[in-house]
Structure 1
Amino acid sequence: MTTESAYAQEFPILEYDPTIPAIIDIDLEQDRHPEMPEHCVICFFRDVIEHFLEAGLLTRLHTVKSEMLDHPVYLYQVGEQKVALLHQAVGAPLAVYLLEECIGMGARKFIACGGAGVLDRSIAMGHLLVPTA
């Protein structure tokens, strides 16, 4: 028995199954949207998105459907640069679904903008915090 197969027996998650097609398989070209930019901002602040909408700065590019709501994906233009904007949902399953839909549409680079609390009183409220590992 090889070392690789011994590991697969001890840790089944390490077993690789090359069977194609998989039951759930992502085709990165299938759902590509012709206008979807490579860059996407994931924003948790609804009021900011509403402000941009009221100012006429956003164009609806696509709507991702879910059982709970319709989730619009907007197009925002900064000079010559086009950026997608998504109001992210709270909760891992829906958040992953929306992210994967944007990846399927063509987005490849993401940045998230949201709020969070901290227990360290030395960190000032309202300032930028970049989490690191």
Structure 2
Amino acid sequence: MCKPVDSPTATAETAADCELNYADLDRWSNRLARILLRLGAHPGAHIVIAETPQPEAAVSRLAIMKTGGIPVSLTTETAVDRADFGITTKAGRELVTDASRWLVLDDRSTLVHYLTGSDAPLTEAELNPAQQMAA
């Protein structure tokens, strides 16, 4: 992924069929971060990104970091053993043989949550719900 620049319209990621600017990357990752929070993402959570093409991998990495989680590439068998859950696609899920919880990005239910979710910046209440309940 390219280093952030001052212009939100500057290209952040490119793929054969997609060019993603920094503003889009930010909005897309906000939507995905909300899904990850509902799945239990939290500061320090290890979340594996497996067999996920660009720009989905870039969006996933940023979304994980926005939740305080730690993105982990699936490079060893032990990565999944230490993970809280993982992110992949339908094609990638067929290649991953473990029984861990996986968020499948192109699954219909995931897409519905993603497309109907807010792309606004995450709030402190979303990131720290326990603190908000105690207040």
Tell me the TM-score normalized by structure 1. 0.23
Larger helix fraction of residues: 2
Tell me the TM-score normalized by structure 2. 0.22
Larger strand fraction of residues: 1
Give the structure with higher Rg (CA).
1
Between 1 and 2, higher relative CO (CA 8 Å, sep ≥ 6) is seen in 1
